[in-house]
Structures are given as C-alpha cells and as structure tokens.
Amino acid sequence: MTYVVTDNCIACKYTDCVDVCPVDCFYEGENMLVIHPDECIDCGVCEPECPADAIRPDTEPDMEKWVTFNQKFAELWPVILSSKEPMDNAEKLDGTSDKLRTHFSEKPAEEAA
C-alpha cells in the first residue's frame, strides 16, 4: 500500500502533511503536491493532517490513476521538506469539482533562491 495525493490538493496546496512525513516523499508542483509512491513507507501519518482530505490510500477504489499521476510528477518536481502557507484561494477552492481539468498546472514549484 501507498498513499497518494488526489485532485482536491489542486489550487489549495496545504502542506501540513510535509512536516509529519518521516521520509520526505512529498514533491511540489506550482499548485499541488504529490507523493512518490516508491518512497512512501505507508505510515499514514500524512492523511489526517490534510485539511482538504486530498491524501488517500491506494487501496480505495479508482486510485490506480492517482498512483500513476503521483509517480509521474514526483519524478519531475522538486522535493518539499517543510510546510508553507496554502495558496491564496485554498479555502474557497477546497472541494471544488473537476480541478484536474480546470486548475491543474504541470509546472514545478518555484525553488527558493
């Protein structure tokens, strides 16, 4: 089993999960996070920390697409090692449907100078 980030993280990007992760398996895009499935140790401490309920175990129905999605972008985006402020519209967009189509950006997060 592994945990993955789903579309509710898009345009919210809460990072509370990053601070509790013991293996630094979160990667940061411009407007969401992903978990590297091969690095996740399945401890589950991140899941209850996500205010947007965007982190799910891959044992739930229809999660294979999210495992593939997380794997792909974890290999393209930089690792995130500490929490940051959520996106400006996080509260407003939390729970919005179809965010993968309407809000997702493939760009990596801007790395700190």
DSSP β-ladder status, 3-5 and 55-57? antiparallel
To which H or E segment does residue 3 belong?
Answer: strand 3-5
Cα distances (angstroms) measured from residue 69 to each of 5, 43, 58, 76, 91: 9, 20, 12, 11, 24
Q: Collect the ranges in the chain with pLDDT lower than 50.
A: 112-113
As a whole number of angstroms, the distance between CA 47 and CA 60 comes to 13
Other Cβ atoms within 10 Å of 29 Cβ, number: 23
pLDDT score of 38: 97
pLDDT score of 111: 64
Distance of CA 74 to the CA centre of its chain: 10
pLDDT score of 113: 42
Beta bridge partners of 35: 26
pLDDT score of 110: 85
As a whole number of angstroms, the distance between CA 12 and CA 86 comes to 6
